[in-house]
Amino acid sequence: MARFRCQGTMVINHLKFPSGSTFADTTGNAQAGDYVWAPCGTPAAMSPKLIPLDAAATTIKGNSIFANTPVPCTIPGCESIV
């Protein structure tokens, strides 16, 4: 059960999601407005743009290749346009 916030525009399965979108790995873990994307619960699908929002998400990111990637503190203008 993990939730992530996207710190930039992401394209998943030909769908474009704006920065600030929130992803959950299961419908049971999702809150209102979240997108459910099951692969976000695996280290292999991790992106440096996904910011962990709970302990499970922090563990998943810690087990990915982006474990030590710094969290961006700003979103460039080009990343905020969908």
pLDDT digits (tens, 9 = 90+) for 35-72: 998 888 888 888 888 889 999 999 999 999 888 888 77
* Distance in angstroms (rounded) separating the CA atoms of residues 39 and 45: 6
Please report, for the chain, the start and end positions of each structural domain, with discontinuous segments joined by +: 3-80
Tokens of 75: 């979103």
Average of per-residue pLDDT across 4-27: 88
3-state SS of the chain is CCEEEECCCEEECCEEECCCCEEECCCCCCCCCCEECHHHHCHHHCCCCEEECCHHHHHHHHCCCCCCCCCCCCCCHHHHCC
For residue 79, name the pLDDT band (cuts at 50, 70, 90).
low
